[in-house]
Amino acid sequence: MLPAAARLTRSQDFRLVTRQGRRVGGPRIVVHALLPGSSAGPAQAGPRAGFVVSKAVGNSVTRHRVARRLRHVVRDRLGTLPPGSALIVRALPSAADASSAEFRQDLDAALRRLRLTPSSDGGGV
């Protein structure tokens, strides 16, 4: 579970991140990121994350399983994001059958492409 201070919950926040942030797509997820200082937002707040898992992913059980896995993967990487950044992870229909390891790989690749985490500079995606 993400701490309350690390969650995006208001529709205005989701709208701001998806419209003004940068987007990177992968095979199972799309990541929208808004960096600190790129818009009106609390720059001193810690990084925050939100999730979108639509009915296109599957039934209620499948959607909740996908959301739990995504929350767990993002929670482990939240500390590596810059303070004040906002992240939205949207699950694609192919996420229904994905494992946590696949989500981890997709999220890491997206964060590298968004330059939100230090890269190993050993080639890459």
CA–CA gap between residue 4 and residue 38 (Å, rounded): 23
The backbone torsions φ and ψ at residue 70, rounded to the nearest 5 degrees and listed phi first, read: -65, -45
Q: Give the CATH architecture of domain 23-113.
A: 2-Layer Sandwich (3.30)
Query: What is the structure's pLDDT at 46?
Result: 86
CA–CA gap between residue 68 and residue 32 (Å, rounded): 18
- 48-52: strand order across its sheet: 22-25, 29-34, 86-91, 48-52
Per-domain residue ranges for the chain?
23-113
Query: What is the structure's pLDDT at 2?
Result: 85
Query: What is the structure's pLDDT at 118?
Result: 61
Between the alpha carbon of residue 119 and those of residues 73, 86, 109, 111, the distances in Å are 18, 19, 10, 9
Query: What is the structure's pLDDT at 106?
Result: 96
Answer for the pair 33, 85: CB distance below 8 angstroms, yes or no: yes
pTM comes to 0.86
Nearest to 111 by CA among 81, 91, 86: 81
Query: What is the structure's pLDDT at 124?
Result: 44
pLDDT in tens, the chain (125 residues): 788 889 999 999 999 999 999 999 999 999 999 988 765 554 458 899 999 999 999 999 999 999 999 999 999 999 899 888 999 999 999 999 999 999 999 999 999 999 877 655 444 43
